[in-house]
Amino acid sequence: MAFKDFRKDFRAQAHKFVDWMADYLENIEAYPVKAPVKPGEIAAKLPSAAPETGEAMEDIFRDFQDIILPGMTHWQHPGFMAYFPANASPPSVLAEMLTATLAAQCMSWQTSPAATELETRMLDWLRQITGLPDGFHGSIQDTASSAMLSAFLCARERLHNFTTNHTGLSVTGQHTCYASAEVHSSTDKGIRIAGLGSGNLRKISVDETFAMIPEELEHAIESDLNAGCLPTCVVATLGSTSVSAIDPLRPIGEICHKYGIWLHVDAAWAGSALVLPEYRWMIDGIEFVDSFVFNPHKWLLTQFDCSAFYVRDRETLVRTFEILPEYLKTREGDQVINYRDWGVPLGRRFRALKLWFVLRAYGVEGLQAHIRRHIDFCQQLAQKMKQEKDFEIVAPHPLALLCFRYNPGGLTDEALDRLNAQLLEDINDSGQLYLTQTRVQGRYVLRFVSGSPYTEQRHIDDSWRLIQEKARFLSKM
Ligand code: PLP
């Protein structure tokens, strides 16, 4: 059978799809926020092998609606308050449609000059609107985890004057890294992959706000130095995953400066709040920072994947990653930026386009209004919860994450853990609200994160009503 060129049907099919997409966004509340399916249920509906001959797009699309959609969790649903958001927006979707159509692989300047130059400009716009310093160089990475890995590799190479890429680590000694006890697991993972050994990650104690205690950091560094180790990197977190703790950058930065240690800041979620001038206190001490990451794909209306990774010294980054076989050389050489040398993957999607669309469509004021609204929703909920004696807020909530548990009194800690685990299941089975859990000081608690672009006041009110109803019903059983 001859190869089929689908361009002839593309226009009509695309129009149909766009109609479906607009309906989906308009009616998103009609879907259960968390997919109500069992493991294997979707796979059971899929043929075990690819079709021998091509199928009609109508059939494929029908199966998308009948088989795939019921197995989707709807991250843009106004009742999505789980994990951290991965929010998107119509301007971002439109840009992704263009990106998908152009289908450019933007590894080098020459492979799409506009993609490179737009990325440089967009990361500079983002830098300015978040109050990051002049002289920070940004690039887009897929995730904060990849940015973290890049930071460890840079720290390792800088420490050894760029020799370990060649020699490997066997001759270097024991590298130690430091982060708060609340740090995200991508830190452990990055350290593993960078060959530094996750056993060499020192988890530093936290204070009553769950922020790293700088004196404890210095103490750990001193004791490692005395033991002949090589302190390599400190990770400070702005907005920890469990409870949104903010590590104090200035004292941590001063310690890193004193001992010559790379300081990476993981602001994966909370970094978007820097669009609000009133939250810039979080980056007091930024002058000591070597690298910084935050995810516009979490809370800045730019859909996954779009992680903004900044470094102070671009030379260190490029020397860590650059590799230039003949087949990648281009006429422009190093007169231009080749983002292939700024991270692990060679191939790169054109991700700056969606940032351009989002930043222009909303403007700084629009983005600020979006973030402020979610912080306000969370603070309102906290106020309401404080008035109910049978609910406990278990951690400070400076942003849009609230950790709480239901505690009707008279139960042991184990029984409370079980009660709250059941509460979470019941809430999530409702299809209206989706929360996740964590442990705070050993206690099982629920996390509520406001972040969906379509959440309104009524959704917050309904969520609070649902939480109380489910909790109190359970305690009567
Ligand atoms: N750091 C923090 C604080 C996070 O909360 C997360 C994920 O939620 C990550 C890192 C990892 O993010 P990514 O999925 O972009 O790798």
CATH number at residue 265: 3.40.640.10
Identify the pLDDT of residue 201: 97
The set of long-range contacts for 414-423, using a CB threshold of 8 Å and a minimum separation of 24, is 416/443, 416/444, 417/443, 417/444, 419/474, 419/475, 420/444, 420/445, 420/446, 422/474, 423/467, 423/470, 423/471, 423/474
Ligand 1 centre to CA of 48 (Å) is 34
Domain of 29: which CATH number? 3.90.1150.170
**Distance of alpha carbon 367 from alpha carbon 441, whole angstroms:** 34
Identify the pLDDT of residue 225: 97
* DSSP β-ladder status, 175-180 and 230-237: parallel
Atom number, ligand 1, closest to the C-alpha of residue 237 = 3
Average pLDDT over residues 153-163: 95
**Distance of alpha carbon 325 from alpha carbon 464, whole angstroms:** 58
* Overall domain count for the chain: 2
Q: What percent of the chain has a predicted confidence (pLDDT) above 90?
A: 96
Instruction: For residue 184, give both structure tokens.
Output: 């995200």
Identify the pLDDT of residue 169: 86
- The reply to whether 122 falls in a domain is yes
Q: Residues with Cβ within 6 A of ligand 1?
A: 84, 143-145, 184, 186, 237, 239-241, 266, 268-269, 295, 307
Identify the pLDDT of residue 449: 98
One domain, residues 160 and 271: yes
One domain, residues 130 and 193: yes
Which of 349, 383, 418 marks a domain boundary?
349
Nearest protein Cα to ligand 1, atom 6: 268
370 pLDDT band (50/70/90 cuts)? Answer: very high
Nearest protein Cα to ligand 1, atom 14: 143
Question: Looking at the predicted structure, is the pLDDT value of residue 406 above 90?
Answer: yes
Question: Looking at the predicted structure, is the pLDDT value of residue 170 above 80?
Answer: no
One domain, residues 83 and 118: no
Question: Looking at the predicted structure, is the pLDDT value of residue 21 above 80?
Answer: yes
Atom number, ligand 1, closest to the C-alpha of residue 241 = 5
Atom number, ligand 1, closest to the C-alpha of residue 143 = 15
**Distance of alpha carbon 138 from alpha carbon 337, whole angstroms:** 11
One domain, residues 369 and 414: yes
2 pLDDT band (50/70/90 cuts)? Answer: confident
Question: Looking at the predicted structure, is the pLDDT value of residue 46 above 80?
Answer: yes
One domain, residues 435 and 340: no
Which of 294, 321, 349 marks a domain boundary?
349
Atom number, ligand 1, closest to the C-alpha of residue 297 = 15
One domain, residues 229 and 253: yes
Atom number, ligand 1, closest to the C-alpha of residue 266 = 1
Ligand 1 centre to CA of 175 (Å) is 23
- The reply to whether 4 falls in a domain is no
The answer to whether 121 touches 337, Cβ cutoff 8 Å, is no
Give the mutation target among 269, 302, 307, 344 for probing the ligand 1 site: most ligand atoms within 8 A of CB.
269
393 pLDDT band (50/70/90 cuts)? Answer: very high
The answer to whether 188 touches 196, Cβ cutoff 8 Å, is no
- The reply to whether 209 falls in a domain is yes
Locus of tokens 């493991």: 39
48 pLDDT band (50/70/90 cuts)? Answer: very high
Identify the pLDDT of residue 209: 97
**Distance of alpha carbon 139 from alpha carbon 107, whole angstroms:** 12
The answer to whether 84 touches 269, Cβ cutoff 8 Å, is yes
One domain, residues 34 and 116: no
The answer to whether 240 touches 403, Cβ cutoff 8 Å, is no
149 pLDDT band (50/70/90 cuts)? Answer: very high
**Distance of alpha carbon 132 from alpha carbon 372, whole angstroms:** 19
One domain, residues 372 and 337: no
Identify the pLDDT of residue 476: 77
Identify the pLDDT of residue 277: 97
475 pLDDT band (50/70/90 cuts)? Answer: confident
**Distance of alpha carbon 405 from alpha carbon 420, whole angstroms:** 6
- The reply to whether 354 falls in a domain is no
Q: What percent of the chain has a predicted confidence (pLDDT) above 70?
A: 100
**Distance of alpha carbon 47 from alpha carbon 69, whole angstroms:** 17
Cα 433 from chain centroid?
Answer: 21
- The reply to whether 233 falls in a domain is yes
Mean pLDDT of the chain: 96
Q: Which residues of 292-306 are buried (b: 16+ CB within 10 A; e: fewer)?
A: bbbbbbbbbbbbbbb
Ligand 1 centre to CA of 144 (Å) is 6
- The reply to whether 284 falls in a domain is yes
| 94 residue type, one letter | L
* Residues facing 177 on adjacent strands: 201, 233
Residues 219-255: pLDDT tens digits? 999 999 999 999 999 999 999 999 999 999 999 999 9
Atom number, ligand 1, closest to the C-alpha of residue 240 = 3
| Strand ranges (E), 242-287 | 262-266
Which residue segment(s) compose the domain that 149 sits in? 105-349
Question: Looking at the predicted structure, is the pLDDT value of residue 212 above 80?
Answer: yes
| 191 residue type, one letter | I
**Distance of alpha carbon 263 from alpha carbon 232, whole angstroms:** 9
One domain, residues 369 and 305: no
Question: Looking at the predicted structure, is the pLDDT value of residue 92 above 90?
Answer: yes
C-alpha Rg value of the chain to the nearest Å: 24
Ligand 1 centre to CA of 268 (Å) is 5
Around Cβ 128, how many Cβ atoms within 10 Å? 11
Give the mutation target among 186, 210, 246 for probing the ligand 1 site: most ligand atoms within 8 A of CB.
186
Give the mutation target among 83, 142, 146, 241 for probing the ligand 1 site: most ligand atoms within 8 A of CB.
241
Ligand 1 centre to CA of 384 (Å) is 29
Q: Could you say which DSSP state residue 7 is in?
A: H
- The reply to whether 56 falls in a domain is no
Ligand 1 centre to CA of 168 (Å) is 28
Ligand 1 centre to CA of 283 (Å) is 18
**Distance of alpha carbon 123 from alpha carbon 293, whole angstroms:** 11
Question: Looking at the predicted structure, is the pLDDT value of residue 418 above 90?
Answer: yes
Ligand 1 centre to CA of 191 (Å) is 15
**Distance of alpha carbon 153 from alpha carbon 147, whole angstroms:** 10
Residues 460-470: pLDDT tens digits? 999 999 999 99
Stated pTM of the model: 0.96
One domain, residues 221 and 298: yes
One domain, residues 242 and 118: yes
Identify the pLDDT of residue 308: 98
85 pLDDT band (50/70/90 cuts)? Answer: very high
Question: Looking at the predicted structure, is the pLDDT value of residue 303 above 90?
Answer: yes
One domain, residues 197 and 257: yes
**Distance of alpha carbon 337 from alpha carbon 201, whole angstroms:** 33
Ligand 1 centre to CA of 217 (Å) is 22
Give the mutation target among 152, 265, 282, 295 for probing the ligand 1 site: most ligand atoms within 8 A of CB.
295
Give the mutation target among 145, 191, 237, 351 for probing the ligand 1 site: most ligand atoms within 8 A of CB.
145
Question: Looking at the predicted structure, is the pLDDT value of residue 334 above 90?
Answer: no
Atom number, ligand 1, closest to the C-alpha of residue 183 = 3
Identify the pLDDT of residue 157: 95
Ligand 1 centre to CA of 276 (Å) is 21
Q: Which are the contacts of 182, defined by CB distance < 8 A and separation ≥ 6? A: 206, 210, 212, 237, 240, 241, 242, 243, 245
Ligand 1 centre to CA of 292 (Å) is 13
Which of 287, 317, 349 marks a domain boundary?
349
- The reply to whether 59 falls in a domain is no
